[in-house]
Amino acid sequence: MLGNELSKSDVEKEISEKGEYMQIHYLSGLLNKEIHRDTKKFIYLKLIEIYKKKNMLNDVAKMYEGIAGISIAFSEQIKNYLKATEYYIKAGFFDKADYSMRKALNEANSVEREEINFSVKDFYKKQAEEYERNLKRNSATRIYEKLLEMNITDSERKEIKERLIELYEKLGKLKEFYAMKKFEEKEFSRL
C-alpha cells in the first residue's frame, strides 16, 4: 500500500518482523512519501520509540521537530518543538536547541513564551546536574556557561556562578576560575 491508503496497522504489520535498524530504514523511507498526516505522526512516534531505546537523542529531537512540522494546532507545535529542544539539550546540540526553542516561541503567546523560557532553563539545569552526577564536569560547565547567557534571575545567576567556580577549580581551569572569582568579589563588594 502506498500514499494516503497506508494505515497505521499496515505500517505496524510491515515492521513487526524486522529488527530495529531495518525498522528505522523502512520508517524513514516512508516519511518521504505522501502519507496521511495521522499515519505520518504514527511513524514519527515509532521512530522516537526506537531512537530512545538506542539513546540516539539527536534523532529523537529531529522526529519531534517533524511532528511539530505536520501539526495543525499551535499548542501541539509548541509542545513538540519544546520536546525537540529538550532532546537537543540532552544530546549536547545547543545551537539546534536554540533553533527549536525559537520555533516554539514563534508559535506562542506571551504567557506561553514565559512557560517555554522557564521549561528550557529547567532542561539545561537538569542536564547540568546529571552531568555533574556522572562527573562530566566539562559538559556541565558548558551548560552553566550557556545558562549565564539566558534570561535568568539574579539568584539563579549567583547560584550558577558558584557552581561554575567550583567546576573550574575541579577542572584546573585556573584562568576561568580566577576570572569568575574576581567577578564574584566585585559583585559582592557592590552590595
pLDDT of residue 100: 97
pLDDT of residue 186: 55
Average pLDDT over residues 14-34: 91
Spatial distance between the Cα atoms of 12 and 23, rounded to a whole number of angstroms:
10
- Residue 165, pLDDT > 90, answer no
The set of cell numbers assigned to 46 is 515509532
Quick one: pLDDT band at residue 177, thresholds 50, 70, 90? Answer: low
pTM of the full predicted structure?
A: 0.85
Residue 3: inside a domain, yes or no? no
Where residue 101 sits, what CATH number does that domain have?
Answer: 1.25.40
Residue 180: inside a domain, yes or no? yes
Residue 181: inside a domain, yes or no? yes
Residue 64: inside a domain, yes or no? yes
Query: 80 is in which domain, residue-wise?
Result: 55-190
- Residue 162, pLDDT > 80, answer yes
pLDDT of residue 188: 47
Name the domain count of the chain. Answer: 1
- Residue 88, pLDDT > 80, answer yes
Burial (CB < 10 A; 0-12, 13-18, 19+), residue 114, is exposed
The set of cell numbers assigned to 25 is 530504514
Residue 111: inside a domain, yes or no? yes
* Tens digit of each residue's pLDDT (9 = 90 or more) over 26-84: 999 999 899 999 999 999 999 999 999 999 999 999 999 999 999 999 999 999 999 99
* Tens digit of each residue's pLDDT (9 = 90 or more) over 65-77: 999 999 999 999 9
Residue 23: inside a domain, yes or no? no
Amino acid at 140: A
Asked if residues 126 and 118 have their Cβ atoms less than 8 Å apart, the reply is: no
